[in-house]
Structure formats: C-alpha cells, structure tokens
Amino acid sequence: MGVYLSTPKTEKFSENGENQRLMYGVSSMQGWRSTMEDAHAAYTNLDSSTSFFGVYDGHGGKEVAKFCAKFLHQEMLEHEAYRAGDLETSIRQAFLRDDVISWEALVHQAADVASLDLVGQVTVKVMSDLNRMDEMMCEKAGRKELALLRGKADRPTDNIVASIECDDVTGQEGDSPYDEFDNKGPTSGSTACVAIIRNNQLIVANAGDSRCVLSRKGQACELSKDHKPDLHAEKKRILEAGGYVQYGRVNGSLNLSRAIGDMEMKQNKLFSPEEQTVTANPDIITVELSEDDDFLIIACDGIWDCMSSKEAVGFVQEQLKTEKKLSVVCERVLDRCLAPASGGEGCDNMTMILVQFKKTFQTNTSS
C-alpha cells in the first residue's frame, strides 16, 4: 500500500443516477497509489422501496473490495431477515457472511475481471477447500441439506459464486466458522461503509475507516465511527483475542480494526467472528430522514485524511450552489484532496458517493 507513482493518475471514473426520491453522483481516482484498490456500489432501486450505496476501500489488494461491491448487497437481499423487513439484521449478516466467504474472490474474480492481480495461483486444492468450507459452514448452522457449490474441483471458475445458504454463519456458541479451514484466504481486506435508504429510513452500516456523513440543517452529522485500533473498545477486543496494538496498528501491521477479509487476523478458533482481532461486525445506526436533510456523503479515508466531516459538508454546499451534476462535485472534492507530491496525506486512492435528497419525505405515521 505504500508504493507511489512518479506522477498521480488523475483520470476519474464517474457516474450519476436518480429515482423519484434521490439523486446520486460518484467518482473515484487512483491518485498517487501504484494500484487502485477501491470499489463501490450504487443502486437507486435495489428493490421498489430501497436504495443502496456502498464504498469499499481495499488494502493489500483489490480482491476483497471488488468482491464486496459485487456481492454484499446481494447477500443482504437474499437473507430471510430482509424479506421480513429487518434491514439491520440482514445487513449485519451480509457483512459477516461476505467476510467468511470473501476468500472466494481469488477464484471468482479470476474469471470475472481479466486484469485482476491474484495473490498466488488458483489451484485444485483451493477449489476443493471451497467445497469443504461450504459443507462445514452449513453443518455448523445445523442444516441437514447442504447448499453445495455447483460442480466439483475441476468446474469452470465462472461458476464459482457465493452460494452458501446457511442462515447463521456464527454456528454454535464457542464455535468459529474458521475452524478446520486450511486455506487462510487472501491477506487483503476491505472496509465497508454502506447506506440503505428505504422510505424515510436511513440505515448506515460500517466496518473500518471509511465514513458516512449526513448534512442536516447545513451541519455535518457523522453516521459512522472510524474503527481505529487505539479506540478503547477496539483495543480491548484486539487484546482479548490475542493480538496487540503497536504504533496505532493491529499487530503492528493494519491501521484499522474492522474489515472484511484479512483472514490472517481471524484465526482464533475459540472466538466468534465478532470477537476476532479484526472483525467484520459492523456498527449500525438508523436515523429518520426529514426535510432538514440535504445530502449524504460516503467516502473512503483518502478523503477523510484530507478533510474533516465539517469541511467536506461545507465544500459540497458551496459547490451545489452552482453545480447540479453530483459526480462533478465529487470530482472537485477528489481534486481538492489530491496531494501536490507523493507521500503523506492526499496520496491514497479516493472514492466518494454523494446522495442528494429530493425532499419527498412523509411523516412518521405514513406507511
């Protein structure tokens, strides 16, 4: 992650979209980093009443971030809690399920993204372990009928999908879904910060140091907490799981304390996924949207290293006075944050999603 280019890659990848309730713009830029490890997802109509936006900031590789961008919202949709209207449970389980199976990205993305740089080689052993992991997960959830992945070890890689259908990935008390799993998975990982909007309800789930900020009455309201190892609750979990914090990093290596992936930090077989040295268990906050709410910013730490939440909201407010295309506003934030020289703040990959509300909120008593 520390390798820089001689000149930054300032080409931006931007898009816009809208529905009857909101508009969004997104832009991403590689910057000074030697590779682009960010990914994102934006769906104005995930279903008839729900919008979904997510920023995934990869580290140690882009595999897990890309995997999350492709599958995390699908995992949420397919969970029985989502069908029952329990968004909080469905998104929490999506984070945890994607964490356990995120190592599949090494196989799946090989067929899906031609330019993907894989960590190591995809082997028959990995394919065999993938089948065994699926069986083991379902057994721990108490399922008699196993949701086997399609085919055997020699099946084409384009058939590798996240098809585990267990309802509970944590298994019995005292068990870990990482038990008996020989392949430790990718050493890469990713933050995940997602915003789900259904009618008046906004749910933000976050694991890592990407951040979601709401502009309410012109003020910056942080809807997520940066998960850093020095925070008391984070450090307590790290130490209890057998890890340590050195120079503000987990085990002297990782500068955030929650993430999807990073399987080498999740090998304590006595603990649940929520209790591991690094956990994918998200903080979740739910707020009721109103006419006081103007826009939402979801961005990776490449932005927040350079701007405070208050500064970002103020900058966006000024831009929106003259610029209506939201992706252009995002692009201007990225340009403002880009460092003039390599090294230090402003040299990270940058991704930002800006969601603007159309002020069509109903009262709390409406359905």
pTM: 0.79
Paired tokens of 123? 């082997």
Task: Determine the Cα–Cα distance for residues 343 and 345; give it in Å rounded to an integer.
Answer: 7
Beta bridge partners of 12: 29
For the domain spanning 4-357, the CATH number is 3.60.40.10
Reading the chain (367 residues) residue by residue, the pLDDT tens digits are 458 999 999 999 999 999 999 999 999 999 999 999 999 999 999 999 999 999 999 999 998 999 999 999 999 999 999 999 999 999 999 999 888 765 444 444 434 433 333 333 332 233 334 334 434 433 433 333 323 322 322 322 222 222 222 233 333 333 444 443 444 555 789 999 999 999 999 999 999 999 999 999 999 999 999 999 999 999 999 999 999 999 999 999 999 999 999 988 988 888 899 999 999 999 999 999 999 999 999 999 999 999 999 999 999 999 999 999 999 999 999 999 999 998 889 999 999 999 999 976 555 444 3
Domains of the chain, by residue range, sit at: 4-357
